[in-house]
A and B are shown apart, each in its own frame.
Chain A
Amino acid sequence: MILAQQLLLGLLIGGIYGLAAAGLSLVFGVLKVLNVAHGELIMLGGYGAFWAVALLGIDPFASLLLVLPLSLLLGLALYWALFGFVVRADEETRVKNSLLIGFGLALALHALAVRLWTADERSIITPYGGAVISVGDLSIPVVRLLSLALAFALIGGLHLLLTHWRWGQAIRATADDWQAALLTGIDVRRAYLLAFAIGTGLAGAAGTLVSIGYSISPSIGLEWTLKALIVVVLAGLGSMIGTFVGGLFLGLAEAASAAAFGGPYREVVGLVIFVVVLVLRPRGLFGR
């Protein structure tokens, strides 16, 4: 029964993995830019929520309404200041330059977070934090269940945006073939800007959920970048629902391996799956 409980918790955190990966997948798929500072953006989102709760005294989940738009704005600013220059190069150079800028950004954001919030681990305490729903022998933490539901809702919203909004379709078209997108009259630079801003917004939302149900510290960036990358490689580019499922899968796989080999190895197993998938199926399990 302990195993079932562990798997359940894995599934719950898996939803956040999916959300974390969706933003990275969007940016990588559309701009062909690998933002290794994605985890740091998640970290910033977490602290944003932390601040909103501490200073304004609002409900942690309501802080999303603040963090999400602010993250979108941060995404716009980062694109204008940094990544907008990267996309002018050809694809090979783009990947290298984006790695470099990402490392620089990760370094700076990490230092900034240590300065503003110290290096301590923090998490948001909710008034209903201890509540659990019992189903048989399983106990489901209410906060984490809510987080999963919110993550799913956000992914669903993103899916609708990409399929039904005019610019959403333009973003997908740009991901498929940016030159063809230009030939249909799409301002590709604006599609890049929107995709990057949405990607950053999703990172902020993911960070909020991490800080509520779990914990954040300035140094979690790389870990979350890797989690997101693992999911992106598992799920392939192109489908946000597929990305969400990939996140759930990673959460389950981590829980299963922690049960089998012990807690410290949960990270390793995800990474091993990642490398194996990467080598066997360089375009992802569910990829096209």
Chain B
Amino acid sequence: MTRLGKRQLGWAAAILIFLAALALLPLAVGRDDVLNFVFLILLSITLAESWNIVAGYAGQVNLGHAAFFGLGALVARTLWIGGTPIVLAMAAGAGVATALALLIGVAAFRLRGAYFAIGTLALGEISRTTVGNVLSDISTLPTATISAYRLSHRYYLALALAAVSVAAVAALAASRVGLGMQAIREDEDAAAASGVGALGLKLTALALSTGLAGLAGGLFAYYHISYYPSHPFSPHWTFDALLMTFIGGVGTLHGPVLGAVLYVFLKEYLALRWVDFHLLIFGALFIAIVLLLPGGLVQAAERARRLLAR
């Protein structure tokens, strides 16, 4: 195994151990606000890693990611309230999201670069507006479900899902399929010329990415007591995933995890510290990161290490 491969494996192990340690948190700290906060981080890790597969590994900036998150939420919520066990409902949501993604992907992958980005942005908005029009009423859990609500169930499900997405990306990165995707990212024409089936690989990346996004959407539907059905379709889910991934380091295993942790902490901290200005500061901070650390935290750490080793 190459040195890079070993380091990847090391990171995967470190993240999974960290997640395993978080499993003890509800036993140690019973406070709901802490669990809610960590839940948000875990959901963000899943969302960021899922976006990272298609953008970081296959190099396709998908700005319609929220559509698949939303679809997962919509299907899972409907089935779950209808009596289906939540895990099955989430799986169904993920399945529907993936199926739709494959259908759309064949057409959308005709587009390259910026055109793919704006095309998917439009698809996301189409889904949000349509859902908002058709299902305009707020979705609230039945009273019986609310009284049986346990935060720890949501917490453990989020933990499991974050672990699954990290493991999935680690496995992908080490596989031949993952290497093929990275070849497309570097140079699609050259990759195609060398016999890499570009469309197939891009569709694989999209399927995996949207499947995880659908699961994350299911988790969202399981977690929230009431929300407007169009809310999980909102483009800010896509932008959040994008920001977290780029802050951490796009196309790396651990970048999105670091990015998600930092993002949630920063956003919550700024919201507490500067109630009125927090988004303004946050936006400015993010721009500074893009300009000053173009490869994200991961590349910044890499550079620092090289400087120290000198």
Chain A directly contacts chain B within the complex, with at least one CB pair under 8 Å: yes
Whether the Cβ atoms of A222 and B235 lie closer than 8 Å is yes
Contacting residue for B246 out of A100, A106, A108, A265, CB 8 A: A100
Chain A min CB distance to B197 (Å): 20
A110 to B126, CA, bound (A): 22
Count of inter-chain pairs, beta carbons less than 8 A: 113
**Chain B, range 206-225, C-beta contacts under 8 Å to A:** none
A96 to B113, CA, bound (A): 9
Contacting residue for A265 out of B107, B117, B133, B291, CB 8 A: B133
A100 to B290, CA, bound (A): 7
Whether the Cβ atoms of B126 and A272 lie closer than 8 Å is yes
Main secondary structure of the interface of A (DSSP, over half): helix
Contacts of B108 in A (CB 8 A): 279
A28 to B115, CA, bound (A): 11
A272 to B123, CA, bound (A): 8
B interface footprint on A213-250 (CB within 8 Å = 1, 0 otherwise): 00000000010001001100100000000000000000
**Chain A, range 103-121, C-beta contacts under 8 Å to B:** 103-112, 114-115
Whether the Cβ atoms of B290 and A268 lie closer than 8 Å is no
Contacts of A272 in B (CB 8 A): 126
Whether the Cβ atoms of B126 and A271 lie closer than 8 Å is yes
Q: Which residue of A lies closest to B280 (CB)?
A: A111
Whether the Cβ atoms of A103 and B277 lie closer than 8 Å is no
Is A278 positioned at the interface, with any CB of B under 8 Å from its CB?
A: yes
A101 to B126, CA, bound (A): 24
A interface footprint on B271-310 (CB within 8 Å = 1, 0 otherwise): 0000011111011101100110010000000000000000
Whether the Cβ atoms of B277 and A115 lie closer than 8 Å is yes
Contacts of B115 in A (CB 8 A): 233, 278, 282
A275 to B105, CA, bound (A): 12
Is B119 positioned at the interface, with any CB of A under 8 Å from its CB?
A: yes
Is B261 positioned at the interface, with any CB of A under 8 Å from its CB?
A: no
Contacts of B277 in A (CB 8 A): 111, 115
Contacting residue for A100 out of B119, B242, B276, B280, CB 8 A: B242
Chain B min CB distance to A94 (Å): 9
Whether the Cβ atoms of B291 and A271 lie closer than 8 Å is no
Is B81 positioned at the interface, with any CB of A under 8 Å from its CB?
A: no
Is A274 positioned at the interface, with any CB of B under 8 Å from its CB?
A: yes
Whether the Cβ atoms of A34 and B126 lie closer than 8 Å is no
Contacts of A229 in B (CB 8 A): 118, 121-122
Is A97 positioned at the interface, with any CB of B under 8 Å from its CB?
A: yes
Cross-chain pairs A/B with CB under 8 angstroms, 9 sampled? A34-B118, A82-B291, A92-B113, A100-B290, A107-B282, A115-B277, A233-B115, A279-B111, A282-B110
Additional 19 contacts, C-beta under 8 A, given A82-B291, A101-B287? A34-B117, A34-B118, A92-B113, A95-B114, A100-B246, A101-B290, A103-B239, A107-B282, A107-B283, A111-B280, A115-B277, A230-B122, A267-B125, A267-B129, A268-B126, A268-B133, A278-B118, A279-B111, A279-B119
Residues of chain B touching chain A, judged by Cβ–Cβ distance below 8 Å, are 61, 63, 107-108, 110-115, 117-119, 121-123, 125-126, 129-130, 132-133, 235, 239, 242-243, 246, 276-280, 282-284, 286-287, 290-291, 294
